[in-house]
Structure 1
């Protein structure tokens, strides 16, 4: 019988590699935890626009080293929710202006309907199953008012749009979506905290899914365009007057 592998059988080099791998996993877990905590503070309004985000202070509050805090802030910088200011560290980004929001929606309308059409033409059965799962998760997710209660909704929403971008089979279309996708969480603060349009948004996602499932690229493109236009209208209606 073949002897079962035991950690003591590994060479010193293999054991060192295993320890490094474990440290890498633990470091990623810590960075993910810090990211989630900071994102919750941003989405719940506990970190106000323009306020400083202290790396050392956050590390003390969360009982971690500064390293995972830096990694989490770098991820948040990609979303546009924090900004790194030379010699001053990180600050919470200002809330979207109406002009910022209009430009983001213009970009989404240029990219995402085309993504839906291409994905409909090229999507495989595995991708379609994942897309259906994203819609089911969207329907079953809690909706707030605290971030902890609607983060699963946001994750399913983002996954739906990201899957469509991936299924275009076009690396440049996927990159174009990813470039603006990071700003989408920040835009949600434009209309206030929480999810207030779930029923409408879910119906719009289902319309896109139905068109893709039926193999109608033109309808998929039109359904995605309608969804983004409705998102724009709802957010503008809900936004506080500046």
Structure 2
């Protein structure tokens, strides 16, 4: 009887993703809460020593934060914390979202198989309404996550990877949430109501209503954010 030939067992690749996520989350908290002030340098080696990790996850976390605009990489100077957006820059950012997200919401509403998306959006609205809204990032992190996941779920619901890349490149949520540090989330009731209207329109398959609800939400976000800056 021939000896059974067994293929060699290959070890699974060990991913440092969890370490990178932890470093990313810590840096995000430190920047949003102002413990790492605008324009302050970010030394990869110093951060690695402080966090007790190698330089690789720190470098990857900084690259991810750079894509959101929270961190800047300057030639021959390394990484630095980016300044908070000015009122004009924040308005421009939300205007860019206004060009993208109403159309995305309409496209998501027209998808024939969207039950999973509808369930995800409903769960996100519930999580947003229940999330704490304290003054520091740790105390409104669940709110931030629910808000971000709601919008990204709609983009992902189009099943168009180019739209997903375009949305991710804006990095808009994290920029806006810098306004909440030290004062807490100030527009939760309006945001929850607006999210619910978007979710209902998508659930009904009404593309026009979904587009209009998303536009109304983003206009509201812009108005409220600019009021926060000028307060």
Question: Residue 90 of structure 1: SS of its match in structure 2?
Answer: strand
Which fold has the larger relative contact order, with Cα–Cα distance below 8 Å and residues 6 or more apart in sequence? 2
Partner residue of 2:9? 14
Equivalent pairs counted in the alignment come to: 223
Residue 88 of structure 1 aligns with which residue? 77
Map Cα deviations across residues 115-161 of structure 1 (whole Å, 9 max, x no partner). 11111111511121111111111122222211111111111111111
Q: Is the 8 A contact 1:192 1:240 kept in 2?
A: no
Which of 108-117 and 214-223 deviates more? 214-223
TM-score, length-normalised on structure 2? 0.90
Q: Quote the offset at 1:108 in angstroms.
A: 0.7
RMSD: 1.8
User: Shift in Å at residue 215 of structure 1?
Assistant: 2.3
Aligned twin of 1:228: 218
Alignment gaps of 5+ in structure 2: 1-5
Distance (whole Å) between structure 2 residues aligned to residue 111 and residue 29 of structure 1: 31
1:192: how far off?
Answer: 4.3
- The structure in which a higher percent of residues are helix is 1
**SS of the counterpart of 2:53?**
coil
TM-score (normalised: structure 1): 0.86
Match of 1:57 in 2: 46
Listed as ranges, the gaps of 5+ residues in structure 1 are: 1-9
Q: Distance in 1 between matches of 2:198 and 2:173?
A: 19
Aligned pairs for 1:1-242 (under 5 A) are 14=9, 17-18=11-12, 21-22=13-14, 24=15, 27-122=16-111, 124-180=114-170, 182-189=171-178, 191-193=179-181, 194-240=184-230
